[in-house]
């Protein structure tokens, strides 16, 4: 019989809140491995006992078949000289150790959550904050590390017993998902009147009213994941012109959000590779060539004289609800979704900022009470020679994942870049953290303050 060995394995990367431990436990069962797995904060620690072949096969499975949203950056393994015999494989709760940690980016709503969102029998039917282990906000709700609900803006929303049961059940889709919530215990959307800054309506009434205003040619500021957008009907020339006039932005293209992939295909050229990026869990704005400069669904003032248009698909549940909601209002297939900021300033993230800066641009504000801690504007991508080409690396699967450099360079660096927009980047040793995209113009005091705030927060992490 083959000799038994015991290995201690440490997995570094995005390994928290992505269902890593249950996956490891399943791999252990399938390879007949005994031992344990625990979440140590900066890494997941595994003790694996079994025949040498089985242990190595198990490590290979952990490396190559991690959970969908995990990102493994490093795996270390060490043979232990131990007499201890593990009776089975168990998931253990343990003290988290301090150390460097990788923060997960925010993840667009997944297919399963989308289905539940529109399932009238589901208890999260039409819940604007539905999320699971595979999707939902991460970086933008984070106060400090380790990443646990009590250190996020979800702290203000204690879980109801049903959500709590899912959170602690390794078989659940919501096991260890920090922002898990439902219609009973989660945050709430509301509509703010721009005239007197009072909350006008809450919940479903607020969503219906926002849809009504947009469908009738008005402009609504909508709070999403990393900040506010200014939103109007992209097929309505008068509405888009009005937004241009109010925002004093005569010609620079506006990004649009499409109802679904099919409507994008109907107006834009889309290769297979582009389709993958557009529908992937990062949901960036992708620059696509229009089939015709003018179509009924996209009026010409969206991107005047430009053969391309920046398109993204809905990534926050509330954005899906803007397109589809059981209230009888007919919504367009494309909505303008441009960052809610005044020229030169970063994207607004709080109601106060939205009041101050966006009131003159919009007819009402659709907001909610889950606070955004770190701004993250939409990522923007183009394609060059049939390969993705990053223009702005930010929300959704990108920031704050580090870019590793190969050298042994040690030091710290602050990089600010871009001509029209800045993505700030904080480097530590050989890793560069393209942190939450702050945007804005460095000559603008609001941008400098937002940058300071972001750096402080990242240091805290």
- For the bound state, the minimum distance from the C-beta of residue 176 to Zn ion, rounded and expressed in Å, comes to 13
Nearer to Zn ion, 163 or 278 (CB): 163
- For the bound state, the minimum distance from the C-beta of residue 182 to Zn ion, rounded and expressed in Å, comes to 3
CA–CA separation, 164 and 181 (whole Å) = 9
Q: Parallel, antiparallel, or unpaired for β 380-384 and 387-392?
A: antiparallel
User: Other C-beta atoms within 10 Å of 238: how many?
Assistant: 12
Peptide bond into 146 cis (omega under 30): yes
Nearer to Zn ion, 189 or 288 (CB): 189
Stretch that binds Zn ion, among 63-71, 82-90, 134-142, 398-406 (CB under 5 A): 134-142
- For the bound state, the minimum distance from the C-beta of residue 161 to Zn ion, rounded and expressed in Å, comes to 8
- For the bound state, the minimum distance from the C-beta of residue 159 to Zn ion, rounded and expressed in Å, comes to 6
- For the bound state, the minimum distance from the C-beta of residue 18 to Zn ion, rounded and expressed in Å, comes to 11
Count of residues that interact with Zn ion, criterion CB under 5 A: 10
Q: Choose which of 110, 263, 342, 426 interacts with Zn ion (CB under 5 A).
A: 110
Nearer to Zn ion, 124 or 349 (CB): 124
- For the bound state, the minimum distance from the C-beta of residue 246 to Zn ion, rounded and expressed in Å, comes to 35
Nearer to Zn ion, 113 or 335 (CB): 113
Stretch that binds Zn ion, among 63-71, 107-115, 287-295, 339-347 (CB under 5 A): 107-115
Q: Choose which of 113, 286, 288, 322 interacts with Zn ion (CB under 5 A).
A: 113
- For the bound state, the minimum distance from the C-beta of residue 184 to Zn ion, rounded and expressed in Å, comes to 5
11: part of which helix (H) or strand (E)?
A: strand 4-14
255 Cβ contact partners less than 8 Å away, ≥ 6 residues apart: 285, 310, 311, 312, 336, 337, 338, 378, 380
460: part of which helix (H) or strand (E)?
A: helix 445-460
Segment 149 to 178, residues that bind Zn ion, using CB under 5 A: 160, 163
Whether residue 11 contacts residue 27, with contact meaning beta carbons closer than 8 Å, is answered with no
- For the bound state, the minimum distance from the C-beta of residue 226 to Zn ion, rounded and expressed in Å, comes to 18
Stretch that binds Zn ion, among 47-55, 179-187, 393-401, 438-446 (CB under 5 A): 179-187
CA–CA separation, 283 and 395 (whole Å) = 9
Q: Choose which of 73, 75, 185, 455 interacts with Zn ion (CB under 5 A).
A: 185
Whether residue 292 contacts residue 299, with contact meaning beta carbons closer than 8 Å, is answered with no
Whether residue 22 contacts residue 11, with contact meaning beta carbons closer than 8 Å, is answered with no
Q: Does 135 bind Zn ion (CB under 5 A)?
A: yes
182 Cβ contact partners less than 8 Å away, ≥ 6 residues apart: 123, 124, 127, 130, 160, 162, 163
User: Other C-beta atoms within 10 Å of 260: how many?
Assistant: 14
Nearer to Zn ion, 182 or 263 (CB): 182
Nearer to Zn ion, 149 or 244 (CB): 149
Return the closest-CA partner of residue 346 out of 332, 358, 364, 360: 358
DSSP 164-218: HHHHT-TTSTTTT-TT---TTTS--EEEEETTT--EEEEHHHHHHHHHHHHHTT-
Q: Choose which of 24, 62, 145, 182 interacts with Zn ion (CB under 5 A).
A: 182
Q: Does 91 bind Zn ion (CB under 5 A)?
A: no
Residues at the contact surface with Zn ion, assessed by CB under 5 A: 110, 113, 132, 134-135, 160, 163, 182, 184-185
């Amino acid at each position: 019989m083959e000799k038994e060995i015991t290995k201690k394995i440490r997995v570094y990367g995005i390994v928290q809140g992505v269902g890593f431990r249950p996956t490891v436990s399943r791999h252990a069962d399938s390879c007949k491995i005994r031992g344990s797995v625990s979440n140590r904060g900066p890494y997941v620690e595994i003790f694996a006992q079994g025949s040498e072949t089985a242990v190595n096969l198990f490590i290979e499975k952990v490396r190559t078949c991690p959970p969908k949203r995990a990102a493994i950056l490093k795996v270390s393994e060490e043979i232990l000289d131990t007499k201890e015999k593990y009776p089975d494989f168990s998931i253990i709760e343990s003290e988290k150790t301090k150390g460097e940690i990788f923060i997960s980016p925010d993840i667009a709503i997944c297919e399963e959550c989308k289905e539940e969102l529109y399932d009238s029998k589901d208890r999260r039917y039409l819940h604007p904050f539905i999320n699971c282990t595979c999707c939902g906000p991460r970086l933008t709700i984070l106060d400090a590390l380790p990443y646990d609900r009590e250190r996020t803006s979800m702290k203000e929303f204690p879980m109801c017993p049903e959500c709590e049961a899912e959170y602690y059940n390794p078989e659940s889709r919501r096991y260890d998902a920090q922002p898990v919530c439902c219609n009973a215990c989660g945050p709430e959307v509301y509509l703010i009147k721009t005239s007197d800054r009072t909350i006008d309506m809450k919940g479903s009434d607020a969503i219906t009213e926002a849809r009504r205003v947009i469908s009738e040619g008005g402009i609504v500021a909508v709070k999403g994941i990393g900040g506010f957008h200014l939103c109007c009907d992209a097929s309505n020339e008068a509405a888009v012109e009005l937004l241009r006039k109010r925002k004093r932005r005569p010609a620079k293209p506006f990004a649009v959000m499409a109802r679904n992939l099919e409507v994008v295909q109907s107006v834009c050229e889309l290769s297979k590779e582009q389709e993958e990026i557009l529908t992937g869990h990062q949901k960036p704005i992708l620059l696509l060539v229009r089939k015709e400069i003018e179509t009924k669904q996209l009026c010409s003032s969206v991107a005047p004289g430009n053969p391309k248009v920046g398109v993204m698909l809905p990534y926050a549940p509330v954005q899906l609800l803007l397109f589809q909601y059981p209230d009888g209002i007919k919504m367009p297939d494309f909505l303008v979704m441009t960052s809610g900021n005044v020229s030169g300033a970063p994207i607004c993230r709080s109601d106060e900022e939205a009041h101050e800066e966006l009131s003159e641009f919009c007819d009402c504000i659709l907001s909610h009470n889950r606070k955004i801690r770190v701004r993250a504007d939409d990522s923007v991508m183009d394609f060059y020679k049939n390969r993705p080409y990053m223009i702005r690396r930010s929300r959704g699967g990108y920031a704050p994942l580090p870019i590793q450099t190969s050298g042994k360079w040690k030091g710290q660096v602050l990089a600010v870049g871009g001509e029209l927009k800045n993505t700030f980047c904080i480097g530590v040793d050989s890793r560069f953290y393209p942190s939450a995209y702050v945007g804005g113009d460095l000559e603008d005091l609001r941008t400098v303050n937002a940058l300071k705030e972001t750096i402080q927060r990242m240091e805290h992490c």
